[in-house]
C-alpha cells in the first residue's frame, strides 16, 4: 500500500530539544468550537490530566488538570509499547537486530518447537499466535494482571514466552502485552544489558537526544524493561516522542531511527477483525483520520501523530473503558478543528 507522505523538514524546522518553541493556533481555526471541545474533554471523561498539541514543531496549545502541569509525569500504560518499538528500531539501525529473523527466546530453543519460528516482526505486529489473555478486570482470568502483578511479575518476558502456541504465527492477530515484554527482553539480550544498563541505553540513544528528561522506565526483578506498560513520562516529553515519528525518525539533523522505520510502524498489519482498531507495528492506526497513527494506553493515554497537518496531540488521563469510544471520537474532533 502507499502511505501518506510525512511532512517535509526545511532547514528552519524547530526542535524542542531544550525549550519548546511556542506557536499560535492557526488563524482559520474555529476557536469557539475548539474551546468548547476542550472544555468537554476536561469534564466528560472523568479525569483528564493533560492535553498538549504541537503543530509545525511548535507548542500551540496545552492545558492541565488539577495537580498536573508541564513537568508532571503521567502513566504511559501501553504507550510504552511504542517506545519499545523505537528501541528495536535503534538496534536495527545499528545492524544488531533483524526483525524478520526468529526472535531470541530461550523458551523456544528446543529442536522442533513451533514457537521457534516466531519473528520479532510478528511480535511487533501482535501476530505471534501465542496464547495470552489481555484482560484488565480482576474478576476475570487475566494474563496481563498475572504477568505484571502476580505469578509472572519477577520475570514478565518468561511468563509470556512460556505460553503455548494457539495459532500458526502470522495467521491470527491478538493484542498482547506479553509479546512486548518478549521483545523488550530480546533487545536486552542483544545488548547483554539489563536493568540500569538497559536504562542507560534508553537514555543515551532515545531520551537524551530528544531532550526527554522526565521518563521513568520500570524493570522487573530479572532486569527486563516492562515495555508493555511502564514508562512514566510527562505529556510534553511524549509530544517530543511523537514529533520524532512525525519527522521520520530524524531529530534536528540527526537520524535517531533508521530510514523506513516510521513507515514500518504505520504499515497496516493483517487482522482477522478490526474490532479493536487498525494496527501497524506497535502503533495504532487511524484514530484521527486515515493517515494518523498513535501510541495508545489503558485508561485513555494517547500520543497521536497526524502527518497531513504536521501535528501531534497528546492526551493523558484516567478514563474508564466504557468511555473509550467517546474519548477517541473526541480526539478526532479536536484534530479536525485544524483541517481547513
93-97, 131-135, 281-285: which range is least confident on average?
A: 131-135
Mean residue pLDDT of the chain comes to 96
Q: Cα–Cα distance between 51 and 10 in angstroms, integer?
A: 27
Beta pairing, strands 47-55 & 58-64:
antiparallel
What is the pLDDT at residue 115? 98
pLDDT digits (tens, 9 = 90+) for 167-213: 999 999 999 999 999 999 999 999 999 999 999 999 999 999 999 99
Task: Please give the grid coordinates belonging to residue 15.
Answer: 526542535
Query: For a pLDDT cut of 90, what percent of the chain falls above it?
Result: 94
Domain boundaries, the chain: 31-336
Q: What is the DSSP-derived secondary structure letter of residue 203?
A: I
Q: Cα–Cα distance between 270 and 145 in angstroms, integer?
A: 27
What is the pLDDT at residue 11? 83
Q: What is the mean pLDDT of residues 141-162?
A: 96
What is the pLDDT at residue 192? 98
Q: Considering the domain 31-336 in this protein, what is its CATH number? A: 3.40.710.10
The angle formed by the CA atoms of residues 185, 188 and 190, to the nearest 5 degrees, is 110
Q: What is the mean pLDDT of residues 147-163?
A: 97
pLDDT digits (tens, 9 = 90+) for 37-47: 999 999 999 99
Q: Number of C-alpha atoms within 13 angstroms, CB side, residue 61? A: 20
0.85 exceeded by the pTM? Answer: yes
pLDDT digits (tens, 9 = 90+) for 228-253: 999 999 999 999 999 999 999 999 99
What is the pLDDT at residue 25? 98
| DSSP string of 14-58, one letter each residue | ---SSSPPB----TTS-HHHHHHHHHHHTTSSSEEEEEEEEETTE
* pLDDT > 90? residue 150: yes
Q: Cα–Cα distance between 4 and 307 in angstroms, integer?
A: 8
Find out whether 179 and 160 touch, Cβ atoms under 8 Å.
yes
Task: Please give the grid coordinates belonging to residue 264.
Answer: 514500518
pLDDT digits (tens, 9 = 90+) for 257-316: 999 999 999 999 999 987 789 999 999 999 999 999 999 999 999 999 999 999 999 999
* pLDDT > 90? residue 136: no
Query: For a pLDDT cut of 70, what percent of the chain falls above it?
Result: 100
Find out whether 183 and 124 touch, Cβ atoms under 8 Å.
yes
Amino acid at each position: 500500500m502507499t502511505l501518506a507522505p510525512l511532512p517535509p523538514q526545511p532547514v528552519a524546522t524547530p526542535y524542542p530539544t531544550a525549550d519548546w518553541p511556542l506557536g499560535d493556533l492557526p488563524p482559520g481555526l474555529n476557536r469557539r468550537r475548539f474551546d468548547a471541545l476542550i472544555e468537554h474533554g476536561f469534564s466528560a471523561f472523568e479525569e483528564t490530566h493533560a492535553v498538549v498539541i504541537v503543530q509545525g514543531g511548535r507548542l500551540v496549545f496545552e492545558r492541565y488538570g488539577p495537580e498536573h502541569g508541564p513537568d508532571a509525569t503521567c502513566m504511559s500504560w501501553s504507550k510504552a509499547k511504542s517506545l519499545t518499538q523505537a528501541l528495536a528500531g535503534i538496534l536495527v539501525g545499528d545492524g544488531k537486530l533483524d526483525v524478520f529473523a526468529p526472535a531470541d527466546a530461550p523458551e523456544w530453543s528446543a529442536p522442533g518447537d513451533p514457537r521457534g519460528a516466531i519473528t520479532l516482526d510478528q511480535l511487533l505486529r501482535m501476530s505471534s499466535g501465542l496464547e495470552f489473555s489481555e484482560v484488565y478486570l480482576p474478576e476475570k482470568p487475566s494474563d496481563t494482571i498475572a504477568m505484571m502483578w502476580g505469578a509472572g511479575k519477577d520475570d514478565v518476558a518468561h511468563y509470556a514466552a512460556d505460553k503455548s502456541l494457539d495459532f500458526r504465527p502470522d495467521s491470527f492477530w491478538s493484542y498482547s502485552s506479553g509479546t512486548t515484554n518478549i521483545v523488550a527482553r530480546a533487545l536486552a539480550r542483544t545488548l547483554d544489558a539489563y536493568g540500569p544498563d538497559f536504562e542507560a541505553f534508553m537514555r543515551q540513544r532515545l531520551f537524551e537526544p530528544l531532550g526527554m528528561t522526565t521518563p521513568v522506565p520500570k524493570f522487573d526483578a530479572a532486569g527486563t524493561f516492562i515495555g508493555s506498560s511502564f514508562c512514566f513520562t510527562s505529556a510534553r516529553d511524549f509530544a517530543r516522542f511523537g514529533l520524532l515519528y512525525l519527522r521520520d525518525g530524524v531529530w534536528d539533523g540527526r537520524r535517531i531511527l533508521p530510514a523506513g522505520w516510521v513507515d514500518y510502524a504505520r504499515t497496516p498489519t493483517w487482522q482477522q477483525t478490526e474490532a479493536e482498531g487498525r494496527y501497524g507495528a506497535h502503533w495504532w492506526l487511524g484514530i484521527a483520520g486515515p493517515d494518523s497513527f498513535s501510541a495508545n494506553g489503558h485508561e485513555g493515554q494517547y500520543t497521536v501523530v497526524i502527518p497531513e497537518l504536521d501535528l501531534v496531540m497528546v492526551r493523558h488521563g484516567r478514563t474508564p473503558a466504557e468511555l473509550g469510544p467517546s474519548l477517541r471520537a473526541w480526539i478526532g474532533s479536536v484534530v479536525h478543528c485544524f483541517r481547513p
